[in-house]
Amino acid sequence: MLGGLPADEPLVVQERLSRPLVSLGVVIGRDGTIVSRFQHLARRTWPAAAGSTALAISVEPDDALVARAGALLAAVGYWGLAELEFIATARGPALIDVNPRYYGCMPLPLACGLNLPAIWHAVVVDGPLAAAVRTVSESRTGGSRRT
């Protein structure tokens, strides 16, 4: 594959990771604090083994991962809604993507009773979070998820 490239062609090599895709949706307050979070695990992607989430399940957020993601976003002055995607590795989660916007898997937290867009809106307009945030929401399977 490399035989056709000029010898001086710069290359970027990325490690091929094939473990589960983990998604973390967060809303960061203007002061850099985590206002809300939601995590899911992709069970299937499209295209297979290399694409976006096609089927996922909600999982209890990993507090250490949430804290690290929040610190990363706050360090660059970001606040608002973001989705961070990770691939699990033997060394820990490897960050592969940051989406600072409404993201494609938003129906999952909404189905679990967590309205991240409403929370995001409350942060943007300095509105009351109490109306947007639920401490515990019931998923369709009856399990609870923390926000």
pLDDT tens for residues 63-108? 999 999 999 999 999 999 999 999 988 888 999 999 998 888 899 9
21-146 maps to CATH 3.30.470.20: yes
Contacts of 140 (CB under 8 A, 6+ apart): 111, 112
**What count of residues does the chain have?**
147
Report which of 91, 114, 100 is spatially closest to residue 40, judged by C-alpha positions.
114
pLDDT tens for residues 123-133? 999 988 866 66
As a whole number of angstroms, the distance between CA 38 and CA 114 comes to 8
Task: Map out the domains of the chain as residue ranges.
Answer: 21-146
pTM of the model: 0.78
